[in-house]
Amino acid sequence: MIVRLTMIASGATLAARKGRFPLDEPLEPQAIARAGATGQGLRRADRIWTSPALRARQTAEALGHQASIEPLLADQDFAHWAGKGFEELQVEDPEGFATWFSDPDAAPHGGESLADVARRGSALMERLLAERGHTIVVTHPGVIRAAIVHVLGAPLTSFSKIDVEPLCLTDFRSDGTRWVLRAHGSLPKGQRGVD
């Protein structure tokens, strides 16, 4: 049995460009156009899921897909850090900010830790082992990093060493027993399909 998972990072938002922790903000207009161009290069899938976040739902729509909401694809809950900038937090909560980067189990913002996101990502990957065919998901960089770390068996401290830009595609394959990372990067403009 061949199982395929293509993860797509949601498009860019103004908050992300300004180095802020996300709120449930919409995509930038140019992100919608870029997602539309990217969607032309995607082949059909057996199922398409999206995070509940507005930016992910808008990305899926701009890609040209009708997607079902999957709660496991939600972005990390940053609680009282949501909407705040990195520089602002380095001044306001330097110890918490440093701890968040060094300890995957820490949640100084009062929301989810990286370990919590990794557990959700692992649960999603394990669930998808039983799903025949191709699943496309639109989600967030943290969830995609969690999937990569899970598949590679890497330590959670490697989370911050994986770059996931807006509309980045990450492709996994499975024989129904284990996952392999097949590709990670951007879909070039004009590419006809992802094999």
Sign of CA dihedral 144, 150, 156, 157: negative
For residue 131, CA distances in Å to 3, 50, 103, 125 come to 7, 16, 33, 10
The partner residues of 6 in beta bridges, in order of sequence, read 136, 171
In single-letter form, the type of residue at position 10 comes to: S
- Structural domains in the chain plus CATH codes: 3-77+112-185 (3.40.50.1240)
Percentage of the chain exceeding pLDDT 70: 94
Cα 54 to Cα 125: distance, rounded to the nearest angstrom: 23
7 residue type, one letter: M
The whole model's pTM is what? 0.90
Question: For position 194, what pLDDT does the model report?
Answer: 42
Q: Quick check: 187 pLDDT over 70?
A: no
Average pLDDT, the chain: 90
pLDDT tens for 136-161 read 999 999 999 999 999 999 999 898 89
Q: Collapsing DSSP states into helix, strand and coil, what is residue 141?
A: helix
